Amino acid sequence: MNFELNEEQQMIRQAARDYAQRELIKDVIERDEKAIYPAEHIKKLSELGFLGMLVDPKYDGGGMDTVSYVLAIEEFSKVDSSIGVIISVNNSLVCYGIESFGTEEQKQKWLKPLARGEKIGAFLLSEPGAGSDATSQKTTAIDMGDYYLVNGVKNWITNGNSASTYIVIVQTHKEKGHKGINALLVDKYSPGITVGVHENKMGMRSSDTHSIQFTDVKVPKENRLGDDGFGFKFAMKTLEGGRIGIASQALGLASGAFELATKYAKERKAFGTEIINHQAIAFKLADMATEIEAARLLCLKAAWLKDKGLPFGNASAMAKLYAADTAMKVTTEAVQIHGGYGYVKEYHVERMMRDAKLTQIYEGTSEIQKIVISRAIANDDL
């Protein structure tokens, strides 16, 4: 067992840290307050190669391992978790899905611009009536011979407006249940697609979340990922990888809030001494540090398994479950340690607390992760 990061991994962590601490910090409060999409940052981060960092260099990606990816997402999310989710969706849902299950032609056409960050991707699974219950898809794709005719509405789509490449999960053969589901590559600018209003969210406000409506959208057959009926398996497999990204984002929220709380506790005085010298605060920090370390190890373990080509679905579910709960707990405690200052925007931790809540909800709620883990236990698969 080796817990050391290699030189490349350290370099990537430092590069992400430098960008976050130097650039993201400047406008993160304003972007949160006004719900501004970070277009300029995404452009710069594309140039640095973070938008496609996991993709094989032969498809214009960075060719980095998943451990490096965890480190980078943590560093970005320490300062700005909206950036964390934009990068995570592009890399581990969209690029990963096409790279793992797409044809060579699909990779050349769709993956390369996504890996270069010239285009951004979105993953359209959730619907008004189908979130965690992914088999209840109402969006239909009728087989019209050489194309599918797509109709329906997708909800809560991260990168909904900023993305131009969609992976859309659709129901083709309703009678076949989850075996009748397909995943289609769709250009956002196809006729019949309407991007709904920007959701006015509680947190992660700098990432753009929209509903997307499909009205008689023609999607060529060659845009289907995998064989007919592969869509449900595609979504589940892709989400396994996506969980590592969201777990790392939650980890970043927790470790970022912890760093701020520690700094504050060392400076702020009450009853004649810095508040870190009061056991009530010191023990909070001790718990926070321990839980963050546990979350980090779970994230890195899941990433390590994925990099080794070993099954990582259970590990990524555990990482996501634990890191998201840790993010919620640690950010709440960070606000508490800051007292009144924690409740105002300029001290950052209130934003982190709002952002943290979403990590327990999207890309599989905490309850869904428990279903994944408990089924693995029941099936002697853990």
The first and second tokens of residue 377, run together, are 């236990």
In the complex, the smallest distance separating the C-beta of residue 48 from another protein, rounded to whole angstroms, is 4
Stretch that binds another protein, among 12-20, 129-137, 316-324, 360-368 (CB under 8 A): 12-20
Q: Does 53 bind another protein (CB under 8 A)?
A: yes
The full length of the chain comes to 382
From the list 49-57, 96-104, 275-283, 322-330, the region that binds another protein by CB under 8 A is: 49-57
Q: Which stretch binds another protein (CB under 8 A): 5-13, 128-136, 276-284, 344-352?
A: 5-13
Dist CA 303 CA 258 (whole Å): 23
Among the listed residues 38, 62, 342, 364, the single contact to another protein using CB under 8 A:
62
Q: Look-up: residue for tokens 């409060």?
A: 29
In the complex with another protein, which residue's Cβ is closer, 46 or 155?
46
**Is residue 47 part of the contact set for another protein (CB under 8 A)?**
yes
Q: Among the candidate windows 45-53, 92-100, 215-223, 229-237, which touches another protein by CB under 8 A?
A: 45-53
**Nearer residue to another protein within complex by CB, 234 or 258:** 258
What minimum distance in Å lies between the beta carbon of 68 and another protein?
Answer: 9
Q: Does 125 bind another protein (CB under 8 A)?
A: no
CB of 283 to another protein, least distance (A): 25
Least distance CB 74 / another protein (angstroms): 17
For position 11 contacting another protein by CB under 8 A, the verdict is yes
What residues are annotated to the active site? 363
Of residues 63 through 92, those in contact with another protein by CB under 8 A are 63-64
User: Counting contacts by CB under 8 A, is residue 57 touching another protein?
Assistant: yes
The site for another protein, by CB under 8 A, has a size of: 20
Residue 380 vs residues 187, 302, 308, 317, 367: alpha-carbon distances, Å: 42, 19, 22, 16, 20
Q: How far is the CB of 47 from another protein (least distance, A)?
A: 7
- Positions in 15-44 near another protein (CB under 8 A): 15, 18-19, 22
Q: Which residues bind another protein (CB under 8 A)?
A: 7-8, 10-12, 14-15, 18-19, 22, 47-50, 53, 57, 61-64
